[in-house]
């Protein structure tokens, strides 16, 4: 007899939870749509990015180098080079 009351209580509890979940799921709040317009354009620069100006050497293009007591000679892919004096 106690098992029957316990089983009926469990089934009733699960039923109440299912009905409550259904009712909660079908209830919707008012949806507010906000329209935004772009008024300003900004340039996004990733962290660590260094632009290649005239005074910066692209080290990815360097294929060889030679160091002497007078300075450093860099050799580029296109056959040109750059010399840094000491």
Instruction: Give this prediction's pTM.
Output: 0.38
Q: b/e string for 46-83 if b means 16 or more Cβ within 10 A? A: eeeeeeeeeeeeeeeeeeeeeeeeeeeebeeeeeeeee
SS3 65: strand
**pLDDT tens-place values along the chain, 86 residues long:** 778 888 899 999 999 999 988 888 777 667 778 888 888 888 887 777 767 667 777 788 899 999 999 999 999 988 888 898 88
Domain map (residue ranges) of the chain: 2-85
Q: Give the separation between CA 63 and CA 72, rounded to whole angstroms.
A: 14
Sort residue 79 into left (φ over 0), alpha (ψ -120 to 50) or beta.
left
Q: What is the tens place of the pLDDT at every residue in 23-33?
A: 887 776 677 78
């Amino acid at each position: 007899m106690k098992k029957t009351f316990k089983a009926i209580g469990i089934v009733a509890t699960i039923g109440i939870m299912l009905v409550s979940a259904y009712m909660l799921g079908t209830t919707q709040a008012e949806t507010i749509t906000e329209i935004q317009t772009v008024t300003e354009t900004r340039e996004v620069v990733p962290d660590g990015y260094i632009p290649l100006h005239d005074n910066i050497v692209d080290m990815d293009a360097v294929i060889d180098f030679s160091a002497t007591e007078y300075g450093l000679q860099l050799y580029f892919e296109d056959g040109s080079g750059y010399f840094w004096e000491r």
